[in-house]
Amino acid sequence: MKISLKWLNDFIDIADFLAKPEALSEILTKSGLEVESIENKAKAFENVVVGSILEKGKHPDADRLTLCQVTTGKGVVHQIVCGAKNHNSGDNVVVALPGAILPGNFEIKKSKIRGVESSGMLCSEVELGIAENSDGIMILPKDAPIGKPFAEYMGYDDIVMEIKVTPNRSDCLSHYGLAREISCVTDRPLNSFVKDNLAKLQPAGDTQKKIKLEIKNPQSCPRYTGAFIDKIKIGPSPSWLKKRLESVGMKSISNVVDITNYVMMELGQPLHAFDYREIKGKQITVENSKNDEKFKTLDGTELTMNGTELMIRDGERAVALAGIVGGLNSGIKDDTSEVFIESAYFKPEVVRRTSRRHGIQTESGYRFTRAVDPDMVFTAMKRACQLIQDLAGGQVYGNAYDMYVEKIHQKSIVVTLNYVSDRLGYTVNPKKFVDWIQRLGCTISGKDGEYNVVPPLYRSDIQIADDLVEEYARLNGYDQIPESLPALADPPTQHDKKYTLGLQVNALLRGQGFQEAVNYNFVDSKYYQMVGPSDSFVEYGLNVTERPIKLLNPISEDMDIMRNLIAPSLLKNVIHNFNRGVESGRLFESGYVFYEELGQYIEPWHLGLALWGNDVDLWNKKNVPAVFQLKSKVENFLKGFGKSFSWDVPQKIPNFLHPGQTARLRFEGRAVGFIGTVHPVLVEEFKLRADTALAEFSLEKLLQGQPRVNRVKPLSKFPSVARDLAFVMPATMMAQSVVDEIQKTGKPLLDSVKAFDVFFGQPLKPSEKSVAFRLVYQDPSETLTEQKIAEINSKIVNSVCQKLGISVR
């Protein structure tokens, strides 16, 4: 909220802070009202003064430019080149002298323009930042005092602070309220400004004879006040009022409307002015809406009620949505001369509900939802009347309404000094405590460190002892709170297992040369049609549906659903990197994916991996396909968990992967995810300039039973023996089938088997390949004899050749 210091000065003497607003800002921030910015309008117009053109001549070298001799008083004359056309000798103008910094950080310097010296600039409203468009430079009235600083001439010698008022401090949503807070914190007295002005009221006549009032719903509207005013002349507001409204960011409309806004910014109480002509039956009723009732707001929006809204009605129809917005039917018009001014207390929850239901946010509604001061309702109404009387020629009628049906009370709070001391961690001085609580506006009674406190009505946020603890703490200064560390009496518990396992996953993957990535958990549904989930993932052990969770209110179209895979996001990262000339990388992300099942939201923990391109390398000339590089990294990662795994190829291949370069990982027999090369069509679509591989696994399945400690196997005392075997087989046969067969037959002496060479070409047929395997035999109890090895080796060869129909090379 914006606060003008000059305005504030109406209620409390803070004129000294105009010169040092930072000091006030510090006081406010320390007491819990954070000052977000300080706007010093005068500062923006330093070295900008009122001047007069003595002589307007032509620039010798430029037809479009004029050469002016301008005085800024006391006989000082500046030569200024000006490109405008609307100025003449004798005009009073706004002169920015060297040193001035105009909006947009435009610094004025002495310079030469087309060879002629120019020491300043004649300004337009746009250049000064006070209007959105202007025709030529600003010409001031004849009586503008030459030499006067422009800011002072315009009345810009104010300081405006932007204050962050937290939702609990509705009492500070006005200048008066803030003055009251400053009075409490600084012990400066509030003056009698409000009272003095109300004394100027000269009522005549009887409001209650002009209009009838009925509150049918006092639980929602405990207090309603109003007065009738006639003889009003609608017109523009006086400039001081306009300026004040503008200084706090409000637009001036007309005197009566401006006054209702002014009083709201002054006293914190929203008001509404009805055109009396339009009040049918001269009757105001406060009651709930009817179901399906239509209502058109001031700005012409039509709303449909559902019976929960509180309405202000006349004899026939709704004329306002209570506390939020007036009706189009009864607003102030240019020819309005009689008005009914409303000032009321509407319950916060009632206004909140309506405001939320219809999505209407107004300054008025903002204040009611945070609770206004019930005691200010009548005062604010009278203040508005007085201003209308003084500024719009209105005649205010007496016998104003003040229906206060349901009295609002503040509950008494019991608080002990011990409680306050215990919560703050330091001993609270009783005298200081009582003093601060009183300065807050509370009544306090009791003794021996036990008190009954009744907070003022404008502090409806103070409800329990803990609220008083905070009030005392902030007023006494948060810097008074000492620092202590609580004793650790009970043993700490263990971290959530997912956190510890996550650390292990990250460490193992970094060990494999991956960089950790983090992606938004929402993705683009259109992108998912190209690179996204499909039912084929079920075979891979990933519970991924084609219908991801939609956000009801996405921030943008390209973040409209929750992801249910990580790999597509990583592919986006790869594209992003390629587009910026980064041609290789290895990324991993461990994170959550989302799906819905029977109304439950499930968040499986996944690991996504992406690998693309290679850095130029002096040593490694051989180009290993990305998918194999990724595979070996994945295998090393899996070995970190010490469990057995294998790869196979299921029937269905996810649509964004290469159908001939995709495999499924099985971990201890269960499908846990996929690895594959990005589909060539996508490679072309996304202009990927290097081989790119993706993988994704369910970490929940991979890490089941972890952490697990593997017992160490004794080292064999006997040497192991290696034998190589090569088989000729169809080119498309998977090596794994041979490995499986070798392992089956080789038990128990076979320790390991691994393919180490693949050969195509002569003398083999084009449809054939030869794969060489290294078999390692080991007997834990004796040295293997040549005979024994030959025996088992031939058994393996026979079995493989027979079962798979292939031959030894």
Q: How many residues bind other proteins (CB under 8 A)?
A: 93
Least distance from C-beta 503 to other proteins, angstroms? 7
Least distance from C-beta 94 to other proteins, angstroms? 31
Contact flag: residue 510 with other proteins (CB under 8 A): yes
C-alpha torsion 315→321→324→327, nearest 10 = -70
* Contact criterion met (CB below 8 Å) for 546 and 533: yes
* Contacts (CB under 8 A) with other proteins, residues 613-632: 614-620
* Contacts (CB under 8 A) with other proteins, residues 560-579: 562, 570, 573, 576-577
Candidates 252-260, 432-440, 520-528, 682-690: pick the segment binding other proteins (CB under 8 A): 520-528
- Residues 478-497: x where in contact with other proteins by CB under 8 A, - otherwise, as a string: xx-xxxxxx-xxxxxxxxx-
Which residues make beta-bridge pairs with 601? 596
Residue 244, burial from CB neighbour count under 10 angstroms (0-12, 13-18, 19+):
buried
Least distance from C-beta 586 to other proteins, angstroms? 5
* Contacts (CB under 8 A) with other proteins, residues 25-44: 29-32, 34
* Contacts (CB under 8 A) with other proteins, residues 668-707: none
Write the single-letter amino acid at 724.
D
Closest CA to 82 of 61, 100, 52, 59: 59
* Contacts (CB under 8 A) with other proteins, residues 416-435: 422-426
* Contacts (CB under 8 A) with other proteins, residues 532-561: 549-556, 559
Closest CA to 230 of 393, 382, 383: 393
Contact flag: residue 585 with other proteins (CB under 8 A): yes
Write the single-letter amino acid at 191.
N
Least distance from C-beta 601 to other proteins, angstroms? 4
Nearer to other proteins, 181 or 314 (CB): 181
Residue of 238, 315, 513, 719 that binds other proteins (CB under 8 A): 513
Residue of 10, 39, 230, 470 that binds other proteins (CB under 8 A): 470
Take residue 707 and report the two structure tokens written for it.
């952490």
* Contacts (CB under 8 A) with other proteins, residues 734-753: none
Q: Quick count: other Cβ atoms within 10 Å of Cβ 484? A: 8
Closest CA to 339 of 286, 285, 271, 399: 271
* Contacts (CB under 8 A) with other proteins, residues 360-389: 369-370
Contact flag: residue 594 with other proteins (CB under 8 A): yes
Residue given tokens 């209009």 in the structure block: 211
* Contact criterion met (CB below 8 Å) for 803 and 744: no
Least distance from C-beta 290 to other proteins, angstroms? 22
CA angle 151, 156, 158 (to 5 degrees): 130
Contact flag: residue 603 with other proteins (CB under 8 A): yes
Nearer to other proteins, 147 or 554 (CB): 554
Closest CA to 508 of 611, 635, 632, 640: 640
Nearer to other proteins, 521 or 737 (CB): 521
User: What is the radius of gyration, based on Cα positions, of the chain?
Assistant: 41
Nearer to other proteins, 580 or 687 (CB): 580
Q: Are strands 291-296 and 302-306 parallel, antiparallel or unpaired?
A: antiparallel
Instruction: State the SS3 of 653-695.
Output: CCCCEEEEEEEEEEECCEEEEEEEEECHHHHHHCCCCCCEEEE
CA angle 461, 462, 468 (to 5 degrees): 145
Give the C-alpha separation, 330 to 257, whole Å: 13
* Contacts (CB under 8 A) with other proteins, residues 445-464: 464
* Contacts (CB under 8 A) with other proteins, residues 220-249: none
Least distance from C-beta 371 to other proteins, angstroms? 9
Nearer to other proteins, 602 or 776 (CB): 602
Candidates 280-288, 450-458, 611-619, 738-746: pick the segment binding other proteins (CB under 8 A): 611-619
Give the C-alpha separation, 690 to 679, whole Å: 12
* Contacts (CB under 8 A) with other proteins, residues 157-186: 166-169
DSSP state at residue 768: E
Least distance from C-beta 88 to other proteins, angstroms? 46
